[in-house]
């Protein structure tokens, strides 16, 4: 039986970060991956394929709108199979960076098969090799969580793991779940010609976002999608070659006919088949491994990152956690994890950007002792020039200008809000952005204008103007 300094379970974003980092620092590392290829859910079923599909759908949508706007004629129907071929090509290209050979060249021992705990230090891979680790990292990701809807096991339905195998655009698509992934895919299918209905159990969408964002994104998406709010899917059945979804809404049961059903009802961690009970690791009711601020489980030598710990289900968060675990696991550092500067973007069109506290959260934490600086895109020359004026940027600060949160909605908002992430992470005040020269005209100028609002309020709404006026009179 071979013993390692570190065993990493899971070859997704977090696991690969740990394996590469630890091996680069001279550790003896084993990487266990149950699938044929490395890369995890993000590469094969999540971030990468969905963004390729979204980009393809956007090109189709813009072509349609441009022909209307400029008096051109567009013929033919968009071929969704071509979009799915683009998805597969992108995955294959990125896969080269996450190849088995690369990690073997780094000195990582790669084991293919499902890893199960035998005890707190030993892992069995499949039904064969048993390996031992001084320290272990669980980074096995998550999978779609499908609720026990009556009849769901008797029909074919789509999830993020099968949706990119679609060869034809369904005429009618029902999306069960109005979360980020569901909405991104729903809008993309609509742009390829599907009639899409989204069933959402809550009274609105984007419930975790700043309250100013919600009505804007809701209005935009309602132009392309049909929403049924406070709607709970109760049962499904096949009938005359189609699928029928029965949902309950305001006490009534309603049937809706679909050619395909996309289940977008959340995810659950891949921890239930790992025999964690034999390791002594504690999990919560959802199967998430409970971790402390150092990302250690109830067994101090076993760490959990990414979707397995139930914190932030983002690739970039898993990567951040992975870097921290390398230091903590290999060198015994006590680096604490912090999610204060973890942003996220929902890649609908328009995009929604989120960083830190919303205005409501900031008021709950700091009372009225906060400042809000908001600039609409129709006040920024580049957006006006693009004729793309739906959206805004909003920055929430404390009374001294320290950034508490930032939120935006608009085309490619995830790109032009990057500057605020750096400013917050480096503890810059919003006013510092005003002192940075931004090329004109760019979308990023929206943050400069937000910072200018801070200085305008500071310089012209206080005692300084009166003092300046007296000084100028004296100086003359």
From the annotation, which residues make up the binding site for FAD? 51, 115, 140-142, 307
- What is the three-class DSSP state of 225? coil
Residues 6 or more apart whose CB falls under 8 angstroms from that of 303 comprise 135, 136, 137, 138, 291, 295, 296, 297, 325, 328, 329
Q: Which positions ≥6 away from 222 have C-beta within 8 Å?
A: none
The residue behind tokens 């209307």 is 68
| Known binding-site residue numbers for NAD(+) | 177-184, 200, 266
- Fill in the DSSP letter of residue 308: G
Taking the CA atoms of 325, 327, 330 and 333 in sequence, report the sign of the dihedral they define: negative
Q: Minimal CA–CA distance to 359: which of 351, 349, 369?
A: 369
Contact present, 20 and 134 (Cβ < 8 Å):
no
416-441 b/e with 16+ CB inside 10 Å = b? bbebbbebbeeebbbbebbeeebeee
How far is CA 124 from each of CA 58, 120, 132, rounded to the nearest angstrom? 46, 12, 9
List CB contacts of 346: < 8 A, sequence separation 6 or more.
180, 183, 184, 206, 352, 354
- The reply to whether omega before 293 is within 30° of 0 (cis) is no
Residue 437 CA, distance from chain mean position: 30
Is residue 242 within 8 Å of 259, Cβ to Cβ? Answer: yes
DSSP letters along 318-371, please?
Answer: HHHHHHHHHHHHHH---PPP--TT--EEE-SSSEEEEEE--HHHHHHHHTT-EE
- Pick out the residues of the known binding site: 51, 115, 140-142, 177-184, 200, 266, 307
- What is the β-pairing status of strands 226-229 and 195-200? parallel
What is the rounded CA–CA span in Å between residue 362 and residue 298? 32
């Amino acid at each position: 039986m071979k013993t390692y300094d570190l065993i990493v379970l899971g070859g997704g974003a977090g696991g690969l970060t740990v394996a590469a980092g630890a091996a680069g620092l001279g550790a003896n590392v084993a990487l266990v991956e149950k699938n044929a290829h490395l890369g995890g859910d993000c590469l094969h079923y999540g971030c990468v394929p969905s963004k390729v599909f979204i980009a393809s759908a956007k090109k189709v949508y813009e072509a349609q709108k441009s022909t209307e706007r400029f008096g051109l004629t567009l013929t033919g129907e968009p071929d969704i199979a071509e979009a799915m071929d683009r998805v597969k090509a992108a995955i294959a290209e990125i896969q080269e960076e996450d190849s088995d050979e690369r990690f073997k060249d780094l000195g990582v021992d790669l084991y293919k098969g499902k890893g199960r705990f035998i005890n707190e230090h030993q892992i069995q891979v499949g039904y064969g090799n048993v390996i031992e680790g001084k320290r272990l990292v669980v980074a096995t990701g998550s999978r779609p969580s499908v609720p026990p809807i009556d009849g769901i096991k008797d029909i074919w339905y789509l999830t993020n793991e099968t949706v990119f195998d679609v060869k034809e655009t369904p005429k009618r698509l029902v999306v069960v779940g109005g979360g980020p992934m569901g909405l991104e895919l729903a809008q993309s299918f609509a742009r390829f010609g599907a009639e899409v209905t989204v069933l959402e159990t809550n009274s609105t969408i984007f419930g975790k976002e700043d309250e100013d964002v919600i009505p804007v994104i809701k209005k935009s998406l309602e132009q392309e999608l049909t929403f049924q709010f406070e709607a709970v899917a109760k049962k499904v059945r096949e009938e005359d070659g189609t699928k029928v979804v029965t949902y309950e809404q305001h006490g009534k049961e309603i049937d809706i006919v679909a050619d395909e059903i996309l289940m977008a009802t959340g995810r659950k961690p891949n921890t239930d088949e790992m025999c964690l009970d034999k390791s002594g690791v504690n999990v919560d009711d959802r199967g998430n491994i409970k971790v402390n601020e150092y990302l250690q489980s109830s067994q101090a030598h076993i760490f959990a990152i990414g979707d397995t710990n139930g914190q932030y289900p983002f690739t970039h968060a898993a990567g951040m956690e992975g870097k921290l675990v390398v230091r903590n696991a290999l060198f015994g550092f006590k680096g604490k994890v912090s999610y204060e500067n973890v942003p996220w973007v929902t890649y609908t069109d328009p995009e929604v950007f989120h960083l830190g506290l919303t205005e409501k959260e900031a008021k709950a934490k700091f009372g009225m002792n906060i400042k809000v600086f908001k600039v609409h895109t129709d006040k920024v020359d580049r957006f006006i020039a693009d004729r793309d004026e739906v959206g805004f940027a909003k920055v929430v600060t404390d009374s001294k200008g320290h950034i508490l949160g930032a939120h935006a909605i608009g085309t490619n908002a995830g790109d032009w809000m990057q500057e605020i992430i750096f400013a917050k992470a480096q503890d810059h005040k919003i006013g510092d952005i005003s002192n940075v020269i931004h090329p004109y005209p760019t979308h990023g100028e929206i943050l400069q204008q937000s910072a200018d609002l801070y200085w305008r309020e500071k310089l012209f709404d206080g005692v300084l103007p009166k003092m300046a006026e007296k000084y100028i009179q004296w100086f003359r």
